């Protein structure tokens, strides 16, 4: 304890940290070792504040959304790259792979279609035959039944472009999946981006010049040349969107060039391209039902395997630790089988975050690709007075997962991860620069350039 401190410097540091945490209702120390472990699986002594979800489930969304509770583990990514973003280079033979599980089992007739959108994810003026060569609707024919799992499910797969259709225009797209080809009965939607590389992009991730932001932010700066893509007014006809770790909730879309010199546009403002650097993501590993991974305290064998994780800790005032992660994503895998898609079981994973008392004006969510980067009721943390901690459990397919905790104040949709996770300029993040162009003759937003950057090459 503090009374054992050997010098005044440590004493003052403790007082400062204690004061800051008290103001934020944070519990830095919490409990250590195994004292927090022992989640009661039979009693519910938890409390959760009223919450909301971003979306109305009855509305067809132009976002990543699942309309049915029994549809799980929806993934859309380039073929063979499970943690990569859904970007499709139309100049190559690349394909995207959609996969999802139906926990109801059996065989159902799932159909799909795609819709072209402008840069702001509103439906464009293009008609279907303007951007599709082939059939407007298609059926998902490929499926597999789960094997040797407690939870029965049917695993569906769709690879595209395919024999039924090809995409002829670049831009943003929504992939829609329906049951029995009933467009009024959507099952899920997923965003993806198709592009032609019509412009070159030269960029870097930097530390901001401002001393106040230098240690906690990443700054994206870049230039691009329009020599092969002419527009009338680059301030109006060129749109830039920057994504961090392929998520859209904190995307930057207000970028304008600071300098336009002939065909070259320079985006080097010290204010427009700022992202919170964050921290390396937390992780858990449920790939084995037999052996405890590093973060798993206990595995309880039952009809549904229960994975009790070690309690997490507040990291906002802890020193940065360099640890490799997969930037908030997850990989489905099992150690007890040969086919990860159908032999990975569904298990319950229990989380525990020590907190002195519940927040008075906000909620805490489990966040990442595990929640589609959204605030969902199933990922809301509930306060347990008996353990003085926030807790939740999720039902997820076996694999390796990244996650973090975010705070959302009442009446706000701004996600704050800094109060729990901290912000460190050393943190590794992936960034993607998307450049859209609109020519008067076309009347829609083309995706004319994409550039991947990583903060490991911080300048």
pLDDT in tens, 144-196: 999 999 999 999 999 999 999 999 999 999 999 999 988 888 899 999 999 99
pLDDT digits (tens, 9 = 90+) for 40-94: 444 444 554 544 444 444 445 688 999 999 999 999 999 889 999 999 999 998 9
348 and 392 in one domain? Answer: yes
Q: Within a domain: residue 92? A: yes
Q: Is residue 288 domain-shared with residue 410, that is, in the same domain?
A: yes
Q: What range does the domain containing 173 cover?
A: 65-195
Among residues 138, 161, 195, the one where a domain terminates is 195
Q: Which helix (H) or strand (E) holds 301?
A: none
* Same domain for 431 and 383: no
Which of 164, 195, 226 represents a domain boundary (last residue)?
195
Examine residue 302 and state whether it is found in any structural domain, yes or no: yes
User: What is the C-alpha separation between 330 and 397, in angstroms, rounded?
Assistant: 10
Among the ranges given (97-111, 168-182, 252-266), the one the predictor scored with the smallest mean pLDDT = 252-266
Judgement on whether residues 352 and 300 belong to the same structural domain of the protein: yes
41-60 CB burial, b ≥16 within 10 A, e <16:
eeeeebebbebeeebeeeee
Residues 387 and 266: beta-carbon distance below 8 Å: no
Residue 326 lies in a domain: yes
Same domain, yes or no: 205 and 185: no
Whether residue 79 is found in the same domain as residue 121: yes
For the chain, what percent of residues have pLDDT higher than 90? Answer: 77
Nearest to 221 by CA among 263, 192, 259: 259
Q: Are residues 174 and 150 in the same domain?
A: yes
**Residue 1 placed within a domain:** no
Model confidence over 325-380: pLDDT tens digits? 999 999 999 999 999 999 999 999 999 999 999 999 999 999 999 999 999 999 99
- Listed residue (377, 399, 346) closest to 70, CA to CA: 346
Q: What is the total count of domains within the chain?
A: 3
What is the greatest pairwise CA distance in the chain?
76
Other Cβ atoms within 10 Å of 136 Cβ, number:
12
Place of tokens 């990514």: 77
Same domain, 299 and 417: yes
Of 386 and 43, the one with more pLDDT? 386
Structure-block tokens of residue 199: 């412009």
Residues 116 and 160 reside in one and the same domain = yes
Supply the pTM of this predicted model: 0.87
Strand ranges (DSSP E) for 253-295? 259-261, 264-267, 274-276, 282-285
Question: Tokens at residue 314, please?
Answer: 């507040």
Same domain, residue pair 267 and 304: no
Residue 16 domain-assigned (yes or no) = no
10 assigned to some structural domain: no
Q: Which of 92, 74, 61 is nearest to 161 (CA)?
A: 92
Task: Pick the last residue of a domain from 172, 195, 218.
Answer: 195
| CATH number for 160 | 2.60.40.10
Q: Choose among 310, 275, 280: nearest CA to 403.
A: 280
Residues 80 and 190 both lie in one domain: yes
Contacts of 182 (CB under 8 A, 6+ apart): none
DSSP string covering 147-206, please? Answer: -S-SS--EEEEEEES-SSEEE-S-EEEEEEEEETT-TTSEEEEEEEEEE---SEEEEEEE
- Dihedrals phi, psi of 53, to nearest 5 degrees: -110, 155
Shared domain check, 176 and 93: yes
Residue 13 included in any domain: no
The reply to whether 12 falls in a domain is: no
Q: Does the pLDDT value for residue 4 go beyond 70?
A: no
CA distances to 34, 314, 317, 375, 382 from 310, rounded to whole Å, are 8, 13, 20, 23, 17
């Amino acid at each position: 304890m503090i009374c054992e401190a050997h010098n005044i410097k440590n004493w003052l540091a403790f007082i400062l940290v204690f004061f800051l945490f008290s103001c934020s209702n944070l519990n830095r120390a919490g409990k250590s070792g195994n004292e927090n472990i022992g989640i009661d699986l039979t009693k519910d002594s938890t409390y959760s504040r009223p919450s909301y979800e971003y979306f109305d489930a009855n509305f067809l969304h132009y976002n990543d959304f699942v309309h049915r509770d029994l549809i799980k583990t929806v993934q859309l990514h380039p073929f063979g790259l499970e943690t990569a973003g859904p970007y499709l280079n139309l100049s190559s033979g690349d394909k995207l792979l959609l996969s999802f599980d139906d926990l109801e089992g059996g065989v159902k007739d799932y159909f799909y279609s795609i819709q072209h959108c402008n840069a702001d994810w509103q439906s464009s003026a293009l008609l279907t035959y303007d951007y599709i060569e082939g059939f407007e609707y298609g059926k998902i024919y490929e499926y597999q039944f789960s094997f040797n799992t407690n939870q029965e499910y049917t695993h569906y797969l769709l690879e595209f472009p395919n024999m039924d259709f090809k995409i002829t225009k670049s831009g943003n797209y929504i992939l829609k999946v329906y049951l029995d080809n009933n467009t009024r009965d959507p099952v899920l939607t997923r965003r993806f981006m198709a592009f032609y590389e019509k412009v070159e992009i030269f960029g870097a991730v930097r530390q901001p010049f401002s001393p106040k932001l230098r240690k906690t932010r990443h700054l994206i700066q870049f230039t691009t040349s329009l020599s092969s893509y002419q527009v009338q007014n680059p301030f109006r006809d060129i749109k830039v969107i920057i994504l961090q770790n392929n998520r859209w909730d904190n995307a930057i879309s207000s970028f304008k060039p600071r300098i336009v010199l002939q065909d070259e546009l320079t985006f080097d403002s010290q204010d427009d391209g700022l992202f919170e650097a964050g921290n390396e993501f937390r992780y858990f590993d449920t790939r084995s039902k037999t052996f405890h991974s590093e973060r798993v305290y206990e595995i309880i064998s039952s009809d549904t395997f229960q994975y009790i994780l070690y309690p997490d800790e507040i990291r906002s005032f802890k020193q940065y630790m360099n640890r490799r992660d997969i930037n908030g994503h997850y990989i489905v895998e099992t150690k007890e089988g040969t086919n990860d898609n159908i032999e990975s079981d569904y298990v319950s994973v229990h989380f525990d975050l020590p907190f002195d008392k519940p927040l008075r004006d906000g909620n805490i969510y489990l966040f990442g690709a595990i929640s589609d980067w959204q605030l969902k009721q199933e990922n809301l943390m509930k306060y347990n007075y008996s353990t003085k901690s926030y807790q939740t459990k999720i039902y997820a397919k076996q694999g390796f997962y990244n996650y973090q905790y975010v705070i959302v104040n009442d009446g706000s949709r701004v996600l704050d991860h800094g109060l729990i996770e901290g912000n460190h300029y050393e943190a590794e993040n992936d960034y993607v620069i998307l450049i859209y162009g609109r020519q008067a003759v076309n009347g829609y937003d083309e995706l004319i350039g994409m550039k991947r950057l990583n903060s490991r090459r911080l300048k």
